Amino acid sequence: MKRRGIGVVAALALAAPAAAQDDLPPDATDMAALAEQVPPQKWYPADYRDVRIAAEAQIAEAPRDRQTFVGNCATGGGLCFDPVDPLPLRINADESDPAVRRYGDIALSVARLRQNLVAAGFPDAVFARPLAAYERKLVEAAAPDGTVANDIEIAAARELTTAIEADRLKRASELPRMLGYDEAAAVIYAVVVRSVGPSARTYPVGRKLGREEQLVLRPGDRVEIVRAGKVRTLAGPGKFAVGDTGSAMVASPAPRRGPATAAVRGDYRPGIVFQTSPPSGEVLMVSAFAFKLCQRKNADPWDRFKCRWNEIETGVPKPLSGRFVYQVKWPDGTVRKGTREIAPAEDAAVTFKKVGS
């Protein structure tokens, strides 16, 4: 998934006057291929497999850079695999489907871990059984609002990492060592949440930073990290110690971590204004996750009632953040369809333009 901030006005130009399209979500064929990665389980609750397949599709659109989960071991030589995702994707707080509310975050976290393990070279024989056991513990413990008791979640994570490491040693000892849950959780001191400039590839979004680590920034670099509940901004050139609390790091309150499916980069802030050009367009939006779930359940996910599309009032700030599917309809029959990444911003606008306007 491409991570873009929204400028003062982000305009979407149309390619044709009727049924014009931007980048669209995976079609039914793509979803069917992903379904092969999620075999049915007897213990799956009703509708959970559809949620899980939608999560696989969502995670596939936002792959992590390998260096965010595989790196040099802090103790001793060799490489280690870190199972803790510092910037997990979350469902939207207003998801109407009860199965999504209850299991969406679990499905996203399991899909992320599975795809990271595959990307790191772990075969199914090493992780499939422990991951399924971990998933089952969380699913069976999930409350209707999606919460899982902290002690249950931690115990399940400890069992998961221990089991995978044991299987790795037996079957594929050449692979990166699996960090234990407690070891992995202790490593994270700060996380990069925004990175622009010449060093953006060195410090990508999602990179975990240790307390003693130093960031070496060049002119034009700007890196934002979350540490101890604060967002700290570093501007190059210069060297900055992650553990430094000096004035070189400008601190501001961290955005509230709330659910947003498509990539939580902070969370909701008021100020995203949607508008159409000409202004007579009707804007309908649904979260990318909900759209994918509709693809599993309905023949036509573009049906506004089957998928419970939300009508967006133009000209009024909306508290949205994440990846959404949209369709804009004008009175003359012109339809604009596509996906849109909505980044948190203040006083920003997104304009859906009709050709010739």
User: What's the pLDDT tens digit per position in 202-230?
Assistant: 888 778 787 778 889 999 898 988 866 57
What's the pLDDT tens digit per position in 318-349?
877 778 899 999 999 899 998 888 765 545 78
Q: What is the rounded average pLDDT for all residues in the chain? A: 80
Task: Give yes or no for residue 192 having a pLDDT over 70.
Answer: yes
Estimate to the nearest angstrom the gap between the alpha carbon of 134 and the chain centroid: 20
What pLDDT digit, counting tens, does each position of 140-185 carry? 999 999 999 989 999 999 999 999 999 999 999 999 999 998 888 7
* Least confident segment among 27-41, 59-73, 256-270: 256-270
User: Rounded mean pLDDT of 124-128?
Assistant: 96
Domain ranges of the chain: 9-24+262-353, 28-185, 190-242
At position 240, the amino acid (one-letter code) is: F
CA atoms within 13 A on the CB side of 312: 28
Residue 148: per-residue pLDDT: 94
Query: Among residues of the chain, what percentage have pLDDT more than 70?
Result: 80
Least confident among 1-10, 105-114, 248-257: 1-10
Task: Tell me how far apart the alpha carbons of residues 191 and 209 are, in angstroms, rounded to a whole number.
Answer: 6
- Give the global pTM: 0.73
Tokens read off for 15:
């390619």
d(CA 342, CA 263): 9
Q: How confident is the model at residue 84 (pLDDT cuts 50, 70, 90)?
A: confident
Separation CA 268–CA 332 (nearest Å): 34
pLDDT in tens, 135-151: 999 999 999 999 999 89
How many other C-beta atoms can be found within 10 angstroms of the C-beta atom of residue 42?
4
- The answer, yes or no, to whether residue 264 has pLDDT greater than 80, is no
| Alpha-carbon span 107 to 86, nearest angstrom | 16
* Tokens read off for 171: 């079957």
Does 7 have pLDDT greater than 50?
A: no
The confidence score (pLDDT) of residue 49 equals 95
Residue 71 has a CB neighbour count (10 Å cut-off) of: 16
Residues 6 or more apart in contact with residue 319 via CB below 8 angstroms: 268, 269, 270, 272
Question: 3-state secondary structure string, the chain?
Answer: CCCCCCCCEEEECCCCCCCEECCCCCCHHHHHHHHCCCCCCCCCCCCHHHHHHHHHHHHHCCCCCHHHCEEECCCCCCEEECCCCCCCCCCCCCCCCHHHHHHHHHHHHHHHHHHHHHHCCCCHHHHHHHHHHHHHHHHHHCCCCCCCCHHHHHHHHHHHHHHHHHHHHHHCCCCCEECCHHHHHHHCCEEEEEEECCCCCCCCCCCEECCCCEEEECCCCEEEEEECCEEEEEECCEEEECCCCCCCCEEEECCCCCCCCCCCCCCCCCCEEEEEECCCCEEEEEEHHHHHHHHHHCCCCCCCCCCCCEEECCCCCECCCEEEEEEEECCCCCEEEEEEEECCCCCEEEEEECCCC
Averaging pLDDT over each range in 29-33, 128-132, 209-213, which range is the top one? 128-132
Residue 313 CB coordination number (10 Å): 11
